[in-house]
Structure 1
């Protein structure tokens, strides 16, 4: 059993079940959920092409949730990361229900929105409401396939990411953090991309486009993780010093449906 008392010079290695209270865990959880929801609301279904590369626009910010997921598992352990993943999962379901209800509500005839006045003549006297409703739906309205794809891919990808990182930390005895963050992202993002794009767009987009975007996004996510490795190192080191611990998942129940923390 590792010594639970932190030293003054560096965080003390401890088993996951030994520590119950953390100072910054809730803040990291809040950051994770916020980035998760915002990246799904704003960038999930938009395609962008830069040069000859086509990718989902959400790729620019969504990988930050994976970086925070790595930080959670590395600093606080798999069980507490599991709790955050389920919190994000619940938040995504609420976001989907709220979006469906708000989008489905009838629009006021004179509801004004950006750009509506320019298109007013096309409504033949029906007011700006229909234009604003269509615009609103194009931004916040998602098909059931995109909703299911987002929630499913997130759940599977995050749990794979956290599991691989926690296991690799035991295998490497806490050394070579870069190998754990990049290695877990390779597997976690592979599950995420393999689930999201086929579920959301196969049969809607041409098959070759689905495959292209799926592979491109996976490579870009892994690339982002590699680029952000120095940031991950800095955040992990800071949190370990502030919390005074270095959690190892010895004896942890890796069942994603487990409740023990």
Structure 2
């Protein structure tokens, strides 16, 4: 094997390792974000779901996977993570409903904390799928139609397009006075939903901006030569 071929092989292996690491980090961050989204905390006296502090990192991690492994891999990752989160919510619900052993004194606490609120869980998963698939298409459009330079710009643009969509779907789905959910205990007045949207948007935008350098952990791909991404 020639020296250039060996070098290319090493680069390919490095990119694959980075891509696999990003996949694991993405799914882990998604799971943590969905669990912590069940708690609504406060920031400067305003309501915010606590998954907001880690979830925005997934947009940039998705971009790293897209960069390292391609668009099809990124799409597969988004849908797989959604399936994992849905299975997790269902399993936690089942576990929370099982009778506790008499020697275990924290059964009620477990059910209260980890028995997911289905409305928040479904709204969160739906928001993730819609926004992350949008992120995939905007990112791909940028590198294919605009430029392969300025990697931070492709991440910033795709995140700027997808984060507001994520916020709208989550805030309205989890707390909005939708016609079939008006009597749900989580339904809030529209001003409160708007407040949650704005706070989440601000926090997610800031965390997303801080995560931009992650895109440089992987070498870039040849976008125009890769038939998978043509």
In the aligned structure 2, how far is the partner of 1:197 from the partner of 1:109?
39
Judging changes above 3 Å, is the alpha-carbon distance between structure 1 residues 102 and 85 closer, same or farther for their aligned structure 2 residues?
same
Give structure 1 regions of 4+ aligned residues with deviation exceeding 3 angstroms. Answer: 5-8, 249-254
The answer to which structure, 1 or 2, has the higher relative contact order (CA under 8 A, 6+ apart) is: 1
SS, match of residue 42 in structure 2: strand
| Alignment correspondent of 1:226 | 209
In the aligned structure 1, how far is the partner of 2:111 from the partner of 2:191?
27
Structure 2 residues not aligned, in runs of 5+: 178-186
Whichever structure has more helix as a proportion of its residues is: 2
Could you tell me which of 102, 121, 137 is aligned with 2:111? Answer: 137
2:21 matches 1:27? yes
Compare CA radii of gyration and give the structure with the larger one: 1
1:1-261 equivalences under 5 Å are: 22-41=16-35, 43-113=36-106, 132-133=107-108, 135-203=109-177, 204-229=187-212, 231-235=213-217, 239-240=218-219, 246-248=221-223
Equivalences, count = 214
In the aligned structure 2, how far is the partner of 1:99 from the partner of 1:25?
29
Deviations 1:151-202 (A, max 9, x none): 2111111101111111111223211222211111122112211111211112
Judging changes above 3 Å, is the alpha-carbon distance between structure 1 residues 6 and 188 closer, same or farther for their aligned structure 2 residues?
farther
Judging changes above 3 Å, is the alpha-carbon distance between structure 1 residues 199 and 50 closer, same or farther for their aligned structure 2 residues?
closer
**Is the 1:146–1:200 Cα contact (8 Å) retained in structure 2?**
yes
TM-score, structure 2 as length reference: 0.81
Q: What is the alpha-carbon root mean square deviation over aligned residues?
A: 2.8
Structure 1 residues not aligned, in runs of 5+: 13-18, 114-131, 255-261
In the aligned structure 1, how far is the partner of 2:64 from the partner of 2:7?
21
SS, match of residue 28 in structure 1: helix
| TM-aligned CA deviation for residue 253 of structure 1 | 7.1
In the aligned structure 2, how far is the partner of 1:252 from the partner of 1:218?
33
